[in-house]
Amino acid sequence: MEKNDNCLQLGTFLIDLIFFSIVITTTLFFLNITVTPINFIFSVFCSSVICFYSNKNIKKTIWITLFGILILIVTIVICEHTFDFSWDGNTYHKTMTAFMKNGWNPLKVTFYDYAASDIPSCAVLSQTWLDAYPKGAEIFAACIYAITGNIEGGKCFNILACIAMCFISCGFLGETTSLRRGQKIICSILLALNPVAFSQFFTYYIDGLLWQFFLLCIFCLAYLTLCEDGRLIKYCYYMIFISIVIGLNLKFSSLIYFGIPCIVFFVYWVIKKRKELKQSDEKRKIMSRFAILALGAISGTCYVGATSYMINLLRHKNPVYTMIGEGATDLITVQLPDVYQNMNNISRFICSLFSKTNGSKTIEQVEWKIPFTIYKSEFLPAHSCDVRTAGWGILFSGIFIISMAVIIFALIRYHKIKKEVCHAIYLFFGIMIGAIIFVPGLCWARYFGALFYVPVCAMIYLFMEYNKRNKTMYNVLAVVIAVLLGANMIPNIVFSDEILTDEYSVIENELQEFKNITEENEVVVGYNNRGRFSGRIFTLEDMGITDFTFGEVDENEVTGDIFSYYGLVYKIVETSYEKSTIN
């Protein structure tokens, strides 16, 4: 029991670091106080207070705090020694992060007014979402940036949340199942770690982060459903509140991802207890659950989400401006491969699940493949943080089929014996099927990370059956699924190793060479013809490269490139310096 509590408390401490950083910073924005190192220091203090409140043990609280801070430092150091290689990261995520760290208060000043007066390199930007989008991840990143002075360290939220959910999952499984220690660890890791999360570890992409909080929310909703008198009821209330608040401040689509499960589970609770609601205890229980769900939604949009939902309402009369209504930007459907454009949502999902892994938008016909077959062409796109087709992994279609067969077998076997568990599974799959039918873009893996939970659910059942019946077949099949899920991430593992070893040193050397150029010559840095990757400017400044002028660089006058992908260009002005290419 104590080991379960230690896992839950450590995971909660890490989640609280993110939560309180966002809440404290937003509160200070109301007071017209911008991001400073104090924001994060205070969030550490608040996280420790919550930890002490849960265990009433000062010694344990100190150890959890120190261990949590150590984990945070390690994630920051890792991220500082990688360069974000993503399009979104180097266009708007890093830019919003840097603006807030440099003094931008999104509640008081528009992005464009601040850019015009303080940051010329961003004055030419025109994307409407720079003001409108939820800013939860960027606020946390800005707090980290304010302490470290390195914008790349801010993207540690992806690794940090993954580690937190590994601990929390282990604690929940230890509390609610009969899994052995090794089984719990394997299942916990595979619940939190998958190709989508892995591929975004070293970027400012936030899909993996969103699915960690979705998992947290589902865990707690399921616990309230299956363990009505369990000792973690209050804990689940707290974590549901946190997951909703943070989730709603990651993406507008979180209104769907978190809203639908919460509503579906709540309706189920009411229907299940409809005959008992006249009893004061049952009525109080239902009202408590309604209150925590409503409080999370209201806090996540009206208070913590004031920098997006409320500002949009005031400026555009639309809290989700750019998502629906006037000014809406269709960033999902138009980015799907050509072959999917005229399909319905169900067809898109099925075609993507059983296709070759491919990141291209110009696929003219469905590239079907037999499950467990592997093509050489799949390995390069498989590690991408933005795979459009079959992004769940090169082996996932086969893993999914096996897992669904196991789950269907379990439902048939136990539908009369363990009704509550079966009902919870029905709810989860009903939510997923409904989402596939009505939500566009779920053929795109990063928008449908919940699919990764299916194989792990099958593993949990198989491990429990093995522990109960001691039949080797169950254990072998569970281990096979675990091994396949691990093998499914091999492209991500290989690519991550390259990023952490070879790639960083290569880019660092290139930047040092460019720094030497700026110190010896008059240099103008500008955007290339692929896009305005304004986030790169802040990476240059953090690396000590500041002796340059930002301006327009004609493509015919380019002296060289900075960064080999999603980068910048430069030209040397009035010098005899020999032309060079920095890439």
Q: Which of 37-51, 310-324, 345-359, 497-511 has the lowest mean pLDDT?
A: 497-511
Question: CB–CB of 360/323 below 8 Å?
Answer: no
Q: What is the pLDDT of residue 568?
A: 95
Confidence of residue 582 (pLDDT cuts 50, 70, 90): very low
Report the relative pairing of strands 560-562 and 568-573 from DSSP bridges: antiparallel
Specify the DSSP element, H or E, that contains 70: helix 58-80
Q: What is the pLDDT of residue 118?
A: 78
Residues in contact with 57: Cβ distance below 8 Å, sequence separation at least 6, in sequence order: none
Burial class (CB in 10 A: 0-12, 13-18, 19+), 234: exposed
Coil/strand/helix, residue 569:
strand
Residue 577, pLDDT above cutoff 70? no
Q: What is the pLDDT of residue 238?
A: 97
Q: Which pLDDT tens digit goes with each residue over 69-90? A: 999 999 999 999 999 999 999 9
Q: What is the pLDDT of residue 579?
A: 44
Q: For the chain, give the mean pLDDT.
A: 92
Confidence of residue 583 (pLDDT cuts 50, 70, 90): very low
Largest Cα–Cα distance in the chain?
88
Residue 148 CA to residue 144 CA, distance in Å, equals: 6
Residue 319 CA to residue 301 CA, distance in Å, equals: 9
Residue 168 CA to residue 314 CA, distance in Å, equals: 38
Residue 487 CA to residue 559 CA, distance in Å, equals: 43
Residue 465, pLDDT above cutoff 60? yes
Coil/strand/helix, residue 350:
helix
In angstroms, how far is CA 568 from the centroid of its own chain? 27
Give this prediction's pTM: 0.95
For residues 272-281, average pLDDT? 80
For residues 389-403, average pLDDT? 97
Helices vs. strands in the chain: H and E counts, helices first: 25, 4
Residue 124, pLDDT above cutoff 50? yes
Which residues on adjacent β-strands are paired with residue 41?
none
Question: CB–CB of 193/162 below 8 Å?
Answer: yes
Residue 432 CA to residue 429 CA, distance in Å, equals: 5
Burial class (CB in 10 A: 0-12, 13-18, 19+), 523: buried
Q: Which of 133-137, 337-341, 390-394 has the lowest mean pLDDT?
A: 337-341
Residue 2, pLDDT above cutoff 70? no
Which residues on adjacent β-strands are paired with residue 535?
none
**DSSP secondary structure letters along 214-257:** HHHHHHHHHHHHH-TT-TTHHHHHHHHHHHHHHHHTT-TTHHHH
For residues 462-476, average pLDDT? 94
Report the relative pairing of strands 522-527 and 549-550 from DSSP bridges: parallel
Q: What is the pLDDT of residue 580?
A: 44
Angle formed at CA 346 by CA 345 and CA 351, multiple of 5 degrees: 100
For residues 251-259, average pLDDT? 95
Q: Which pLDDT tens digit goes with each residue over 144-184? A: 999 999 999 999 999 999 999 999 999 999 999 989 999 99
Q: Which pLDDT tens digit goes with each residue over 295-328? A: 999 999 999 999 999 999 999 999 999 888 887 7
The torsion angle over the Cα atoms of residues 200, 203, 205 and 206, rounded to 10 degrees, is 70
Confidence of residue 117 (pLDDT cuts 50, 70, 90): confident
Higher pLDDT, 335 or 255: 255
Q: What is the pLDDT of residue 555?
A: 87
Q: What percent of the chain has pLDDT over 90?
A: 79
